[in-house]
Amino acid sequence: MNVLFIMADQLRWDHLGCSGHPYLQTPHIDALAARGVRFANAFVNSGVCGPSRMSHYTGRYPISHGATWNRVPLSVGEVTLGEMLKGSGRSLALAGKTHVMADREGLARLQLEGGSELATLLQRGGFEEIDRYDGHHPPGSESGYAAYLRAQGYAGDDPWSEHVISGVDAQGQVQSGWHMRNVHLPARVAESHSETAFMTDQALQYMQRMGSQPWVLHLSYVKPHWPYMAPAPYHAMYSAAQCLPVQRTLQELDTAHPVLAAYRQQEECRSFQRDECIRTVRPAYQGLISQLDHHLGRLFEYLEKSGLAKDTLVIFTADHGDFLGDHWLGEKELFYDTVQKVPFIVVDPRPEAHATRGQVRDEFVEAVDVVPTVLETLGLPLPQHRLEGRSLLPLLHRAEAPSNWRSFAYSELDYSYREARLRLGKDVQQCRAFSLRSAQWRYVYWLDEPEQLFDLNADPDCFQDLGRDTSTAGVRAELRHQLLDFLARRKHRTTVSEAAVAQGTAAHKRAGVFFGQW
Amino acid sequence: MNVLFIMADQLRWDHLGCSGHPYLQTPHIDALAARGVRFANAFVNSGVCGPSRMSHYTGRYPISHGATWNRVPLSVGEVTLGEMLKGSGRSLALAGKTHVMADREGLARLQLEGGSELATLLQRGGFEEIDRYDGHHPPGSESGYAAYLRAQGYAGDDPWSEHVISGVDAQGQVQSGWHMRNVHLPARVAESHSETAFMTDQALQYMQRMGSQPWVLHLSYVKPHWPYMAPAPYHAMYSAAQCLPVQRTLQELDTAHPVLAAYRQQEECRSFQRDECIRTVRPAYQGLISQLDHHLGRLFEYLEKSGLAKDTLVIFTADHGDFLGDHWLGEKELFYDTVQKVPFIVVDPRPEAHATRGQVRDEFVEAVDVVPTVLETLGLPLPQHRLEGRSLLPLLHRAEAPSNWRSFAYSELDYSYREARLRLGKDVQQCRAFSLRSAQWRYVYWLDEPEQLFDLNADPDCFQDLGRDTSTAGVRAELRHQLLDFLARRKHRTTVSEAAVAQGTAAHKRAGVFFGQW
């Protein structure tokens, strides 16, 4: 079996045709869902790239893997999917973004600097890089994209800034997509030379090179993440009227939670509080998604035509969503489904999965489930003493979910690096929140701040925060208890396997220790 | 400054003259307390050797360092006091026990096998071993004790088993101290050749060798831990009548918590439920303590006479206590002060500490406080992004405690390796408990089992478990909340310093990322 693990960056769950968007066209993603299972309650374990992705790559929650924010290095003590595959004689190829930061201090401490194969693998989070490109920066030396752009005739020191995320206004002036007011313009790059096209090409070339050799590929797009600059014709594919209505009420501002109030002072939120920003960005964002869908179509066509499809497990998901003005917020991070819920489609081509093709399933699925799903698909051992997710194969192979399937999704946030910390006068250990999302409740526990609580039955759009409402004290106490129980079960005993613990139980006499004998 | 960090193994807080034992003689420890501060509310962070010691050596709680039970390796990702000292050009010498298990899988994963200086340091938990001896096994190759015994004329393949923990009964038969019925006999070793004497000699020789060079020494005795065999004259120093009364009530058995009921079926508890076991063991245990005190007297005398005392911070504590039949239990682990509260004496010889000499302080002190105290004493940087304890210097230098000093002590237990797990039919991830001990309450949260709660005001001996009492539901909910908050604050973001986070706050534009600009 091969595995193709595709990630989109900052793609909202509700921005797909198959999830009900009335205008957005994503025919190839919809067809993918029809061939497999679409999980309608799939959640990330943190609403921001770095920690979310590290959960995808380790099978562990942020509180366990410790990379709680973008650019917080993943500890050398953590074991990634790539390393697990390596241990079984396979490897994990990468085309695109990971957001993995090398743990340089940890590597130096263990004298693992320099270019050994092991040091390189650890620096890269276990990936073998075909082309690594994290996006929203000029492509660095790990990527061929800058050279590719130059070869296509995009001149300049920084063709990415000057072409890929820039446009030309009516006055003939070059304008940067870093200013969202400009993202109605087409990017100064041909669609076929865009980030999404380039990375799809990398993946296709890799599959061609591999021929009949098995592979596991993480194809990780940097779009529809900002800068929201879409190339023609996608920049103009949707009008503002063809976007989802903005989800926000004035009551939300009147009764704002202190941390949300601080967030809403940040530049990205202030911008998205302007209607013109929403009307400008949302069509471009949708265009980027349709563009992505187009390239996924190329990819899926290749899988079919090459015959690879019948031996390839495909996972398609995103690292988090994007507020785009909902709840008076821009960007991501906070605990609304807008950001925390993501597309999650899995196609298992094997006959065992025929029973579930085309299903939309409601079980709670999380980012941490990717690693165990990949390992089980490949018939490899699952390091259960580390893994906190569960393989999704039971949900792909049987109509009935296991009776002990999880009843909530978990997510957390470390906002120490955010301006909101300064506004609230907090120190760098105080800026944490922990959230449970069950069928009925969205609950958030904030250090040193009030709780948040939304009743999804009565208020599916989460406009009314009941976290400081005395009438919900009982529910909140129950959810606190659930959260305590969840945190108390994290897998911090990582140096011994479960089998070794079982074998070592009550084994002291076998080890020559005879305490307690009268 | 030098640091002498002395640990006794399995020494109850109430088994010292200075803590009020009416018969037990510990004049040298009492004199130590008179020269410094005795902390009357000092607690370990787990009531069993391995996890407790790893908290002393890392400054982190078991849930953070991950070595949750004896012989669970300390992850190569954890940084120990010895390594911190090494990073500052100093080292941490060891004479005696650590219970550190090398993380062989972790080291192999990082290609750190073999005998490099780094690999050796990591395998040994950061210690430079003068003589490592973990006790309750025949001494291995890391210790010179077996060779020493042979040189003193103790013959046989295993002089430790045959002499140090054996005695000769009235019929002239050699009897093993592994059977507690025999510990009224004197050990078949001269007192001056005993484990306690030998390890004191190692420490004295080390200090002599070091001369005027500064040092940090962990002198870690294996006694009064079982086997409870004391050499003459200490085996007969106390009568059963000179021991503390047994703390147990029949009501405890009638209303036993399920996990405690399972523990009480284990051999060591069944043995200690016999009065003859208590009457036999307690006098020997007290003898071992008086013997330890005698050798500490030799050590303190050397410090004084050599002039080292004025430049040496001395910490004296233990890794946990011993039930000795209290609460119908033997051994340790569970959440009673009998086991969780430990002796904790600190002498800071510097003038700044004159104000507190001879004080008995009531602030909650924990095992995790050792590392920050040592580092601050030596003027070395404190890695606050890892350290979960606090330096005790403020309590040594000022009469007033900092206003934000902790209001409870925390401890946890992983009983996966214990027979109780099998009796209760649990898997190896389910056997955990988490406890808070405040001035009024002893609270225990057990996974999948009822809570425990004791009101120390009304019931200082903890005979009446209110954990399943409906009248305490409100108190328990409040303590659950406190425990949740405590777990939510653990330091899992270990790869970036606090300064780096502060510098990185709201710094995206400096890094060339301009999201959110209209």
Q: Say which of B274, B501, B514 has its CB closest to residue A518.
A: B274
Nearest CA in chain B to A325: B516
Going by pLDDT thresholds of 50, 70 and 90, the confidence category of residue A173 is very high
Q: Rounded to whole angstroms, how far apart are CA atoms B96 and B100? A: 12
Q: Which two tokens stand for residue A475?
A: 């529910």
Would you call A90 an interface residue with chain B, using a CB distance cutoff of 8 Å?
A: no
CA angle, B141 then B145 then B148, to 5°: 115
Q: Rounded to whole angstroms, how far apart are CA atoms A321 and B223? A: 59
Going by pLDDT thresholds of 50, 70 and 90, the confidence category of residue A222 is very high
The nearest CA of chain B is from the CA of A38 a distance in Å of: 31
Nearest CA in chain A to B330: A516
3-state secondary structure A260-320: HHHHCCCHHHHHHCCHHHHHHHHHHHHHHHHHHHHHHHHHHHHHHHHCHHHHEEEEEEECC
Q: Rounded to whole angstroms, how far apart are CA atoms B242 and B199? A: 28
CB–CB contact B419 A268 (8 Å) = no
Would you call B494 an interface residue with chain A, using a CB distance cutoff of 8 Å?
A: yes
Q: Say which of A63, A416, A504 has its CB closest to residue B505.
A: A416
Would you call B268 an interface residue with chain A, using a CB distance cutoff of 8 Å?
A: yes
Q: Which two tokens stand for residue A256?
A: 């704002």
Contact in structure between B220 and B198 (CB atoms under 8 Å): no
Nearest CA in chain A to B271: A518
Average pLDDT, chain A: 97
Give the number of A-B residue pairs with CB atoms closer than 8 Å: 220
Q: Where are the beta strands (DSSP E) in B329-464?
A: 344-347, 360-361, 365-366, 408-414, 432-438, 441-446, 452-455
Residue-wise pLDDT for A312-346, tens only, equals: 999 999 999 999 999 999 999 999 999 999 999 99
pLDDT at residue A298 is higher than 90: yes
Q: Rounded to whole angstroms, how far apart are CA atoms A231 and A189? A: 6
Q: Low-confidence residues of chain B, pLDDT below 70?
A: none
CB–CB contact B495 A67 (8 Å) = yes
CB–CB contact B268 A434 (8 Å) = no
pLDDT of residue B156: 86
The nearest CA of chain A is from the CA of B457 a distance in Å of: 26
Residues of B whose CB is below 8 A from A481: 477, 480
CB–CB contact A494 B75 (8 Å) = yes
CA neighbor of B222 nearest in space, from B517, B11, B487 = B11
Widest pairwise Cα distance in chain A: 95
Residue-wise pLDDT for A75-120, tens only, equals: 999 999 999 999 899 999 999 999 999 999 999 999 998 789 999 9
By DSSP bridging, strand A312-318 and strand A92-96 are unpaired
Residue-wise pLDDT for A196-213, tens only, equals: 999 999 999 999 999 999
Going by pLDDT thresholds of 50, 70 and 90, the confidence category of residue A350 is very high
Question: How far is residue B178 from each of residues A513, B98, B186, measured CA to CA in Å?
Answer: 8, 22, 14
Going by pLDDT thresholds of 50, 70 and 90, the confidence category of residue A156 is confident
| Alpha-helical segments (H) within B345-392 | 370-377
Chain A residues 153-212 with CB within 8 Å of chain B? 176, 178-181
pLDDT of residue A127: 98
The nearest CA of chain A is from the CA of B458 a distance in Å of: 27
pLDDT of residue B314: 98
pLDDT of residue A245: 97
pLDDT of residue B115: 84
pTM for this prediction: 0.97
Chain A residues 314-343 with CB within 8 Å of chain B? 330-331
3-state secondary structure B220-269: EEEEECCCCCCCCCHHHCCCHHHCCCCCCCHHHHHCCCHHHHHHCCCHHH
Name every residue whose Cβ is closer than 8 Å to that of residue B114 and which is 6 or more positions away in sequence.
Answer: none
CB–CB contact A495 B71 (8 Å) = no
Q: Rounded to whole angstroms, how far apart are CA atoms B134 and B143? A: 9
